[in-house]
Structure 1
């Protein structure tokens, strides 16, 4: 009797297991990821109301927003779609490398890059106020050196020091990439 029950047990258990539907594993609160390639360039901005100053030798993660609707694989990306990626150093400045976009609540893989965003002398260090500060420091330095080495402080030492301070301050200003608040960054799909 025990033998019959034991041999019948698999017949009772296996049909239950075979009928149970297979469910896909899901991760709650994680959007699905799809790959989409825009049909043309993607125009995006940082937004905000102040310029952004980025060192040309550092990588920065930033999220951009599209400024015009874009189409990819038959799906429209509305204005304001979030583009995630980073500014990466390249010869002559930085470029933006996009890695994903959030389109209608879905995260999609995006491979797109900008042209080089060229670096310039830091305008915060080469503006009129910065030049006047450098000139004042140079004038004070010229007066001190003239007083110590020349036996007195003359107008020549002060003017020479001011000119040297202004030139050195401008020449030694670091180079940065300046991104204006509504500057358009054009991303080309790869």
Structure 2
């Protein structure tokens, strides 16, 4: 029961504080799942996030569903997803009902403006963590070249991100590593 409570609280906090949508929630999920409760390692979270970004739908609910299932099975998945979406549903109903009457106040405009740099910094930290992982995994030169190519495709050629993700998945699936032959005596030996 304590595990279900921890799952609910962890993802409820994410749902309450995840301003900026899914990308703004990712560092919060990371803090809860890896930092506080240690349900997975940094590497596992990075792999999960990479896989989750290739699938359609909101990233926060995908992560909540998988992590909840991993921690506590089917009911853990339901618990984590509901904890993630419940605050948003309630806040949207309350805010949309009252926003039209308060949107002109300076403090409301200031609050929304102040959230933007916070989300930007959280995304920058997350971006650096991904670049660091990619640099250690693929090598810094290949990571830099790939990052530059993807940046040009997205920013200047306006290629849809889904096409790039699909192409990279296809390349990864088609790429075949040649087996390494560590024994020099077997080189040239056809048997």
TM-score bucket of the superposed structures, by smaller chain: under 0.3
Structure 1-normalised TM-score?
Answer: 0.22
Higher helix proportion, which one?
2
Larger Rg: 1
Structure 2-normalised TM-score?
Answer: 0.22
